[in-house]
């Protein structure tokens, strides 16, 4: 089982996460000697995005044993194991991993049996699910006995892994699938390959510009939805939206994410049982609706589709603040806040994102889309930043809320300039609006919980300069200060105080 050959490169893979794998139930029948699947999951292929912290060469079979945490989590967070076997079919990615670890400064796996990374390496892997029953222990049935370091939280693995690639911000070369050649650049947005990371149509950017608001409206046909994510994830749901008319972006799906559905039911009551949302979105499937909220542009899920409720996408209505269909209107504005216990990426990841992430743009005449490529910095979803200073003259009232240029820290040590957005009628928007009426500078300390986005106003300044024509640049052009932070609410605790 653990030394199966790689599957065909065209084989369908399910997207999973560290959180999901940690919560996979143990097989109902556990055999330590079976060489055939003891659980249906072991016949399935999964793709996983995660952060690499520990690599070990197993003494018994020379497999590469990798321990991974959720993207942005700290080195002490729960991990899962994935393994790359020995043999000619896996030599290519084993050697590429060795090179990447050398490039990162983590050490030389050719001369050491194990490496602990001081800074995680974001990777994506694909392989078979495997329950390592040899380590099963009745006294600790989830973590087992002797299964990796103490940080490993499940006996489930991906093993064998035959595809491994470095994600944005990781040092060294991109890694390849076992037995494959490097991908080639494509010529247009209809087949983008690796030439760029995502694209957005000029028509869609014009719509955002003409709306003069940070609450954009999308006409979408609603489709599949996820379950309700727990608070320690993001407390939201994913609902797939298909835009009407021509495509607005590549990848072309739009994901709708209303805030805090694990805390509020459809009647607006704060309660522990909010499962009624499932039936609500079952009823909306297939309906044409207008969805209004913040138009988030980000590449967190641009590749490695996570199933029918979370296909590859770069456009989200996140947070979604209202959904209006033919016979129903839902408002999520009262739900926009931050709850204690909601996940946030590590302070080092958030700081890397703010300080190091870069974005470039050029125009493709054939598709009439702007193509974007990103580089540098490790980013994630929700984060916590501390706002130390906002000059009232830097605060702007804008349709749907406010914007501000702020001095922030994401790690308690380094300070950077970051664009903030707050959405009305949230409490944090009321706070930012009140700051604008104060005279002189304002220095304070306020922790905000929210999410990163590419700032479409920053993009707009490059592709459509004020008073000028829409640019059709053929060369890659840098987008200055590409990131912004959409604040949901106030946090009580700084993540760097716990690390």
73-125 tens-digit pLDDT:
888 899 999 999 988 888 888 888 888 888 788 888 888 888 999 889 999 99
Q: Are strands 249-250 and 114-131 parallel, antiparallel or unpaired?
A: unpaired
Q: Cβ distance 130 to 159 under 8 Å?
A: yes
Q: Are strands 313-325 and 328-331 parallel, antiparallel or unpaired?
A: antiparallel
Indicate whether 331 and 357 sit together in one domain: no
Indicate whether 26 and 109 sit together in one domain: yes
Indicate whether 359 and 312 sit together in one domain: no
SS3 string of 125-175? EEEEEEECHHHCCCCCCCCCCCCCCCCEEEEEEEEEEEEEEECCCCCCCCC
Q: Give the torsion sign (CA, 289, 291, 295, 296).
A: negative
Indicate whether 247 and 378 sit together in one domain: no
Query: What's the structural domain count of the chain?
Result: 3
- What is the three-class DSSP state of 246? coil
Q: Which one of 335, 364, 381 terminates a domain?
A: 335
Please count the other Cβ atoms lying within 10 Å of the Cβ belonging to residue 47.
Answer: 18
Query: Which helix (H) or strand (E) element contains residue 45?
Result: strand 45-57
Burial of residue 212 (number of CB atoms within 10 Å: 0-12, 13-18, 19+): exposed
- Range of lowest pLDDT (163-167, 239-243, 368-372, 409-413): 163-167
Indicate whether 23 and 78 sit together in one domain: yes
pLDDT tens sequence across 419-465: 999 999 999 999 999 998 876 555 578 999 999 999 999 999 999 99
Q: Among 345, 357, 375, 358, which residue's Cα sits nearest to residue 50?
A: 345
Q: What are phi and psi of 82, to 5 degrees?
A: -125, 150
pLDDT tens sequence across 290-341: 999 999 999 888 765 556 788 888 999 999 999 999 888 999 999 999 999 9
Identify whether 190 is part of a domain.
Answer: no
Q: What is the largest CA-CA distance in the chain?
A: 74
Q: Would the pLDDT of 4 be above 90? A: no
Indicate whether 220 and 291 sit together in one domain: yes
Bridge partners (DSSP) listed for residue 49? 124
Return the ∠ at Cα 233 (arms to 229 and 238), rounded to 5°: 40
Share of the chain above pLDDT 70, in %: 89
Q: Would the pLDDT of 488 be above 50? A: yes
Q: What are phi and psi of 123, to 5 degrees?
A: -135, 165
Q: What is the mean pLDDT of residues 348-356?
A: 93
Task: Please tell me the predicted confidence (pLDDT) of residue 12.
Answer: 67
Identify whether 3 is part of a domain.
Answer: no
Q: Would the pLDDT of 132 be above 70? A: yes
> Rounded to whole angstroms, how far apart are CA atoms 161 and 82?
7
Burial of residue 234 (number of CB atoms within 10 Å: 0-12, 13-18, 19+): buried
User: Which CATH number belongs to the domain containing residue 381 in this structure?
Assistant: 2.40.50.140
Identify whether 453 is part of a domain.
Answer: yes
- What is the three-class DSSP state of 35? coil
Q: Are strands 64-69 and 152-166 parallel, antiparallel or unpaired?
A: unpaired
Q: Are strands 358-364 and 369-375 parallel, antiparallel or unpaired?
A: antiparallel
Identify whether 313 is part of a domain.
Answer: yes
Task: Please tell me the predicted confidence (pLDDT) of residue 184.
Answer: 32
> Rounded to whole angstroms, how far apart are CA atoms 445 and 404?
15
Q: Which one of 304, 335, 366 terminates a domain?
A: 335
User: Which CATH number belongs to the domain containing residue 122 in this structure?
Assistant: 2.40.50
pLDDT band for 250, please (50, 70, 90 cuts).
confident
Token output for 483: 């990131």
Q: Which one of 166, 196, 230 terminates a domain?
A: 166
Task: Please tell me the predicted confidence (pLDDT) of residue 406.
Answer: 93
Task: Please tell me the predicted confidence (pLDDT) of residue 363.
Answer: 93
The CA distances from residue 460 to 154, 172, 326, 391, 435, in Å, are 46, 32, 33, 24, 27
Indicate whether 32 and 140 sit together in one domain: yes
Indicate whether 79 and 135 sit together in one domain: yes
> Rounded to whole angstroms, how far apart are CA atoms 366 and 48?
34
> Rounded to whole angstroms, how far apart are CA atoms 220 and 256?
10
pLDDT tens sequence across 373-406: 998 888 888 999 999 888 888 899 999 999 999 9
Identify whether 480 is part of a domain.
Answer: yes
Identify whether 266 is part of a domain.
Answer: yes
List, as one string, the DSSP characters of 68-96. EE-TT--TTS-EEEEEE--SGGGHHHHHH
Identify whether 186 is part of a domain.
Answer: no
Q: Would the pLDDT of 479 be above 80? A: yes
Query: What's the number of CA atoms in the CB half-sphere (13 Å) around residue 389?
Result: 8
List, as one string, the DSSP characters of 393-451. EEEEEEBTEEEEEEEEESSSS--EEEEEEEETTSHHHHHHHHHTTS-S--EEEEEEEEE
Indicate whether 359 and 329 sit together in one domain: no
Q: What is the mean pLDDT of residues 228-256?
A: 87
> Rounded to whole angstroms, how far apart are CA atoms 297 and 454?
5
Q: What is the mean pLDDT of residues 65-69?
A: 95
pLDDT tens sequence across 170-188: 555 455 556 443 333 333 3
Indicate whether 353 and 485 sit together in one domain: yes
Mean pLDDT of the chain: 87
Q: Cβ distance 370 to 363 under 8 Å?
A: yes
Domain residues for the domain of 282 are 213-335
Q: Cβ distance 313 to 243 under 8 Å?
A: no
Indicate whether 50 and 135 sit together in one domain: yes
Indicate whether 485 and 356 sit together in one domain: yes
Query: What's the number of CA atoms in the CB half-sphere (13 Å) around residue 195?
Result: 20
Q: Cβ distance 387 to 408 under 8 Å?
A: yes
Listed in sequence order, the residues at least 6 apart from 10 whose beta carbon sits closer than 8 Å to its beta carbon are none
Identify whether 175 is part of a domain.
Answer: no
């Amino acid at each position: 089982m653990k030394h199966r050959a790689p599957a065909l490169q065209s084989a369908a893979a399910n997207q999973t996460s560290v959180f999901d794998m940690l919560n996979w139930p143990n097989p109902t029948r556990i055999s330590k000697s079976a060489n055939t699947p003891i659980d249906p999951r072991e016949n399935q292929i999964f793709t996983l995005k995660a952060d690499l912290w520990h690599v070990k060469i197993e003494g018994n079979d020379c497999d590469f044993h990798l321990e991974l945490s959720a993207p942005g989590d700290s080195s002490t967070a729960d991990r899962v194991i994935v393994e790359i076997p020995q043999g000619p079919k896996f030599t290519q990615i084993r050697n590429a991993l060795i090179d990447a670890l050398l490039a990162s400064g983590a050490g030389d796996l050719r001369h050491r049996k194990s490496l602990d990374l001081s800074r995680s390496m974001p990777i994506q892997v694909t392989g078979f699910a495997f329950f390592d029953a040899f380590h099963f222990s009745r006294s600790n049935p989830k973590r087992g006995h002797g299964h990796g370091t103490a940080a490993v939280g499940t006996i489930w693995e991906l093993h064998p892994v035959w595809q491994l690639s470095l994600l944005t911000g990781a040092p060294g070369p991109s890694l390849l699938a076992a037995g494959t050649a490097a991908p080639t650049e494509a010529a247009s947005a209809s087949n983008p390959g690796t030439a760029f990371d995502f694209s957005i149509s000029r028509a869609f950017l014009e719509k955002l510009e003409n709306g003069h608001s940070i609450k954009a409206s999308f006409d979408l046909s609603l489709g599949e939805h996820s379950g309700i994510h727990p608070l320690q994830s993001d407390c939201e749901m994913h609902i797939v939206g298909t835009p009407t008319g021509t495509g607005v972006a590549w990848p072309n799906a739009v994901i709708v994410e209303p805030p805090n559905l694990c805390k509020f039911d459809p009647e607006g009551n704060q309660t522990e049982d909010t499962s009624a949302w499932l039936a609500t979105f079952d009823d909306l499937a297939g309906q044409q609706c207008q969805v209004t909220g913040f138009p988030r542009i980000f590449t967190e899920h641009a590749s490695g589709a996570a199933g029918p409720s979370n296909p590859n996408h770069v456009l989200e209505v996140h947070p979604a603040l209202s959904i209006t269909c033919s016979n129903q209107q839902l408002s999520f504005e009262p739900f926009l806040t931050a709850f204690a216990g909601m996940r946030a990426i590590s302070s080092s990841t958030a700081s890397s994102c703010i300080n190091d992430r870069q974005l470039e743009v050029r125009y493709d005449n054939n598709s009439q889309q702007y193509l974007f490529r990103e580089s540098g910095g490790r980013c994630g979803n929700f984060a916590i930043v501390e706002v130390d200073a906002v000059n009232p003259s830097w605060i702007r009232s804008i349709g749907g809320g406010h914007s501000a240029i702020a001095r922030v820290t994401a790690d308690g040590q380094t300070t950077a300039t970051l664009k903030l957005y707050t959405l009305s009628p949230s409490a944090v928007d009321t706070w930012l609006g009140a700051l604008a009426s104060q005279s002189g500078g304002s220095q304070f300390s306020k922790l905000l919980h929210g999410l990163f986005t590419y700032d479409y106003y920053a993009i707009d300044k490059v592709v459509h300069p004020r008073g000028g024509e829409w640019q059709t640049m053929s060369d890659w052009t840098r987008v200055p200060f590409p990131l912004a932070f959409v604040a949901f609410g106030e946090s009580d605790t700084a993540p760097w105080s716990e690390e």
